[in-house]
Amino acid sequence: MNSSTPIVLASSSPYRKELLERLNIPFTCQSPNIDESRLNREAPETYVERLAIAKATALAEIYPEHLIIGSDQCSVVASDIVGKPGTRQAAIAQLETCSGKTLTFFTGLALINPLSGWQRAAVSRFEVTFRDLNRAEIERYIDIEQPLDCAGSFKSERLGVSLTQAMHGDDPSALVGLPLIQLSAFLREYGINCP
């Protein structure tokens, strides 16, 4: 494989962009335009892997000679998918639901080369167990962090960690939205070393 293949991140997420910058490789960002609706009875793992592949594939015509990274994430508590809250009130409700419970994050990752047909995909799992939270600390956290664009209203890389009792998973970057350990493995397989 060609280690000089240009890379594009199929995302408009500032969190994913910041994560990918850690690998010190040149890349560009382009937001894919796809339908992110969940299929009927689709398992969370299947859902995020399908969307990660769809995001990368959506840019194949625009970037046929690039290596394209796609990623998607959802979180689940008590078998219910918890998405991005969008509003302060929804964020409060999400964290009240998560209080004292475990929120499981599933992060799908895809890496494709449209020209050669080379493709890899995987799903990372990370569990966050929240301590018992009261309304005042939930509101204070939301007002400081503004996690309205974060799955489950949770920002692990900042103050969100203070809401937890425990976190379990192989790759903390997956929790933020882009599994760098798995991505680095895929890139090495393709012939790109980081660093």
Active site residues: 72
Residue 59: which domain range? Answer: 7-190
Residues 11 and 33 sit within 8 Å (Cβ to Cβ):
no
Residues 164 and 129 sit within 8 Å (Cβ to Cβ):
yes
State percent of the chain over pLDDT 90: 90
| Total domain count, the chain | 1
Whether 28 is in a domain gets the answer: yes
Q: What is the pLDDT of residue 160?
A: 93
Whether 1 is in a domain gets the answer: no
**Distance in angstroms (rounded) separating the CA atoms of residues 74 and 84:** 8
Residues 192 and 3 sit within 8 Å (Cβ to Cβ):
yes
Whether 45 is in a domain gets the answer: yes
Q: What is the pLDDT of residue 2?
A: 56
Residues (pLDDT < 70) of the chain are 1-3
CATH of the domain at 146: 3.90.950.10
Q: What is the pLDDT of residue 194?
A: 82
Q: What is the pLDDT of residue 4?
A: 80
Q: What is the pLDDT of residue 114?
A: 96
